[in-house]
Amino acid sequence: MSPAISPDAAAADPRLPYLAELERRALWLSTWMIHNANHIRPNHDGMKVGGHQASSASMATILTALYFAALRPEDRVAVKPHAGPVFHAIQYLAGRQTREKLENFRGFGGVQSYPSRTKDTDDVDFSTGSVGLGVAQTLFGSLVRDYVRAHGWGLDQPEGRMVALVGDAEMDEGNIFEALMEGWKHGLRRTWWIIDYNRQSLDAVIREGLYSRFEEIFKSFGWDVVVLKYGSLMDAAFAEPGGERLRSWIDTAPNQLYAALTFQGGAAWRKRLNQDLADNADALALVARRDDEELAALMGNLGGHDLVNLLKAFEAADNDRPTVFIAYTVKGYGLPLAGHKDNHSGLLTPAQAELFRDKVGVRAGREWEPFEGVHLPEDDLRRFIGDTPFFGAGPRRYSAPTLPVPEDFPCPRQPSLSTQAGFGLILNELGKAETPLASRIVTTSPDVTVSTNLGGWVNRRGLFAREELRDLFKSERIPSTFNWDFSAKGQHMELGIAEMNLFLLLSALGLSDRLFGERLIPVGTLYDPFICRGLDALNYACYQDARFIIAATPSGVTLAPEGGAHQSIGTPLIGMAQDGLSTFEPAFVDELSVIMAHAFDYVQREGKEGGSVYLRLSTRSIAQPQRAMTPALAQGIVEGAYWLREPGPNADLVVAVTGAPTPEAIEAVGLMAEDRRDIGLLAVTSADRLHAGWTAAQRAREAGDREARSPIEDLLDGLPSHCGLVTVVDGHPATLGWLGSVVGHRTRALGVERFGQTGTVADLYRHYGLDAQGIVAAAGALAPERPIRMRGYGHRLAQAPHLHA
């Protein structure tokens, strides 16, 4: 807890006595929450709550200074994962969190282990949990705030600041540095990162002198650096005779030693200082003037535990600059485990908790009372909270109207096209018209804008930068296909290669309606295999329910000559397994058009009715069907499948195919149709939607809704039980392999299980058995007793001996 507020300090800033009380309350309540979850209402199945206790204590002073003084309602905050309890305790003190949820911390339906935008009911701005992501999220949130305002939207609201509370060990995560670089390129403003410099992580005490590395890194990216090393007690002591000697001792003390003495307390401090300061009589006298308790309070009075200095620092940084605060703290501050290197999973014993309770003036049985043990009139304290800028305002969550998807949604018609080219053409068409939807689309790509076919759209809509930058090639009249003009009206945000940044930007763009009250429709493109590079950030974005569309292209071994390093195999399964993300893999561009029209609507739907969309696309140009789009066909495409060739009543074979190998499936079905006349061909546009529909119907039936049905059940139900299924995907075979269990058909799932390699599409499809011959062979093996006879196919049959009669 911060030191007692002196009458002088209180006279200078009347908020201080209130803040000191609130800090003590927040520290107590967060400690009690964790103690309760471990000892009183255990809900840990033997896995006790580690981490939170010491980490929350480490940040109690900083959070108090922020939420009850420095923050404005328009500011948005990412609280480091283990400071969750103290954040919720503060929300509780402000009447924004229930006792019931606090008591059920980490329990089912209770306060979440790590702050969650979607699962916690108090006002979490950004989820955190996977360290590093919340930090970088604030940086991209800042760029999005600037984007929104530069387009003239949301100007009736004050301009907020993005704030991250960062663990010092969290700074090891590379994605933070990737974000720093991108922030520098885009002229980052109004962002505060407050590093809880407790010099401890999970396992260890961190390296000496790390803060000066931090300092240099941030300065080189154009940030202001504020080092909050000393508290106001220390400042006063340094002004006493011998004070300079004490300061130099503090400055040179190794982290381990400082932590160990903090843990041991006043007597240990005295012993050590008397030894080390023996050369300076003034310094010894300075120590001698304090009793053990005062000495411990002085030595523990680091910048991050001193309300006076924190308030001053936050006020001094009230400008537009990106600012990092390196706030020295003690992990476990105020608790008996303060400073101990093992304290990460450390918990107070019941006896320690009782002592601590007495120390903070809480009576037994009144542990949850918000204002128990305060020294100021409770009403005054409540009034103080109600008058704070942050808690004095109304709700901070916004919404924005839905933008209509144009009725005449573009559908490019050409004899042969790839889905990637179709995607580019559709966006280009959308970009031609001044519709509300088009004006709110924001595209972004990690250095693959042109190679993923966004060039046409970008030529029309321009690149975004707060400051105008003309395309020099254009102004010099040098011919170029692309017009690379940057302006405040531009609608494309060009990123460097880091895919983590792509997903964190999409996440921030995709929360714009709720953060700023202004809807944006983010569309990002990247190469499909590199989804894995940004996967944790993609998962993070979905966990926060950010809404966006990603076009991942090219994909699979169909990217033949590029070789195994660029060919994705597992991404269809990622798409299926990722909550909050609907995955589609169309074969034809008219399917893609239907899916994109759906996606632009789907990303805007509220709650579970909507989500984000992943389009797995291909560069392979294939012959396009010349057909009219009927409502039934469009419905099948969105639900995940339709019959490209309807099976007859006696079908003994169905081929189900998704995406790029569709021409091979068509060829194989054509070859087998003579012998297997009722053969069907199922075009699967989304294994993900089909599977989700199927499991939902099963769950509904299990819950008693006997009528519940799913599209895939309707599609496969009429097939005879002896019918075999061959599934084909340019990706892992498990993507479609489950189709056999919907009704119970023998199934052979074709796909890719081994790293790709260079070659032609034909070479690779042959190699992986995705060509017509491989499909026929698989079909034959499903019913060896009834060999497939095909005229004019002798040369291939020779390579598939089991097909011979």
Ligand X SMILES: Cc1ncc(C[n+]2csc(CCOP(=O)(O)OP(=O)(O)O)c2C)c(N)n1
Report the nearest approach of Mg ion to the CB of residue 567 (Å): 41
The Cα–Cα gap between 212 and 125 comes to 30
CB of 225 to ligand X, least distance (A): 18
**Contact of 589 with 412, CB cutoff 8 Å:** yes
At closest approach, how far in Å is the CB of 173 from ligand X?
Answer: 6
- What residue ranges bind ligand X (CB under 6 A)? 51, 55, 58, 81-82, 130-131, 167-170, 196, 198, 200-202, 331, 344
110 touches Mg ion (CB under 5 A): no
CB of 608 to ligand X, least distance (A): 27
Nearer to Mg ion, 213 or 271 (CB): 213
Nearer to Mg ion, 176 or 729 (CB): 176
**Binding site partner of 130, from Mg ion, ligand X, none, Cβ cut-off 5-8 A by kind:** ligand X
Verify binding: residue 51, Mg ion, rule CB under 5 A: no
Nearer to ligand X, 195 or 644 (CB): 195
Binding residue (CB under 5 A) for Mg ion from 53, 127, 198, 539: 198
Rule CB under 5 A: say whether 146 interacts with Mg ion.
no
DSSP, res 700: H
Question: Nearest distance from residue 200's CB to Mg ion, in Å?
Answer: 5
Chosen from ligand X, Mg ion, none, partner binding at 629 (C-beta under 5 to 8 Å by type): none
Separation of alpha carbons 719 and 717, rounded Å: 6
Residues 158-177, interacting with Mg ion (CB under 5 A): 167-169
35/272 with CB nearer ligand X: 35
Residue closer to Mg ion by CB (options 254, 744) is: 254
Q: For residue 141, what are the CA distances in angstroms to 523, 767, 789?
A: 16, 46, 62
Q: Among Mg ion, ligand X, none, what binds residue 771 when CB lies within 5 to 8 Å by partner kind?
A: none
Sign, CA torsion 336/340/344/346:
negative
Nearer to Mg ion, 167 or 572 (CB): 167
Residue by residue, DSSP assigns 245-306 as HHHHHHHHS-HHHHHHHHHH-HHHHHHHHHHHTTT-HHHHHHHHTS-HHHHHHHHT-BGGG-
Smallest distance from Mg ion to CB 661, Å: 50
- Give Cβ neighbours of residue 756 (< 8 Å, ≥ 6 apart): 556, 557, 559, 560, 563, 564, 566, 567, 569, 764
200 binds Mg ion (CB under 5 A): yes
Return the closest-CA partner of residue 746 out of 709, 714, 720, 776.
720
774: partner contacted, choices Mg ion, ligand X, none (Cβ within 5-8 A by kind): none
- Quote the least distance from Cβ 150 to Mg ion, whole Å: 36
> Minimum distance from CB of 229 to ligand X (Å)?
17
Which amino acid belongs to residue 572? P
CB of 198: closest distance to Mg ion in angstroms?
Answer: 4
Task: State the minimum distance, in angstroms, from the CB of residue 735 to ligand X.
Answer: 28
Q: What is the 3-state secondary structure (H, E, C) of 127-168?
A: CCCCCCHHHHHHHHHHHHHHHHHHCCCCCCCCCCCEEEEEEC
Cα–Cα distance, 505 to 489 (Å, whole number): 18
Q: Could you give the C-alpha distances from 746 to 363, 651, 774, 783, in angstroms and in order?
A: 69, 13, 17, 9
> What's the DSSP call for residue 40?
I
Q: Is 309 one of the binding residues for Mg ion (CB under 5 A)?
A: no
Q: Shortest distance, CB of residue 142 to ligand X, whole angstroms?
A: 21
Strands ordered across the beta sheet of 641-645 = 641-645, 680-684, 653-657, 724-728, 747-750
Neighbours of 638 (CB within 10 A): 21
- The interface partner of residue 512, options being Mg ion, ligand X, none and the CB cut-off 5 to 8 Å by kind, is none
Strands 191-197 and 323-328: what pairing?
Answer: parallel
Measured from the CB atom, the residue of 82 and 566 that comes closer to ligand X is 82
Distance (Å, whole) CA 298 – CA 282: 16
Measured between alpha carbons, how far is 299 from 288 in angstroms, rounded to an integer?
Answer: 14
Nearer to ligand X, 138 or 201 (CB): 201
Cis peptide upstream of residue 554 (ω within 30 degrees of 0): yes
In the bound state with ligand X, the residue whose beta carbon lies nearer, of 172 and 471, is: 172
Residue closer to ligand X, measured from CB, 36 or 175: 175
Stretch in the footprint of Mg ion (CB under 5 A) among 194-202, 347-355, 444-452, 470-478: 194-202
Q: Which residue of the chain is nearest ligand X when measured via CB?
A: 167
The gap from C-alpha 25 to its chain's centroid, in whole angstroms, comes to 31
Query: If contact means CB under 5 to 8 A according to the sort of partner, which of Mg ion, ligand X, none does residue 82 touch?
Result: ligand X
Whose CA is closest to 94, among 484, 397, 388, 514?
A: 388
Output Rg (C-alpha) for the chain, integer angstroms. 31
Q: Closer to ligand X at the Cβ: 113 or 658?
A: 113
The footprint of Mg ion (CB under 5 A) covers 167-169, 198, 200
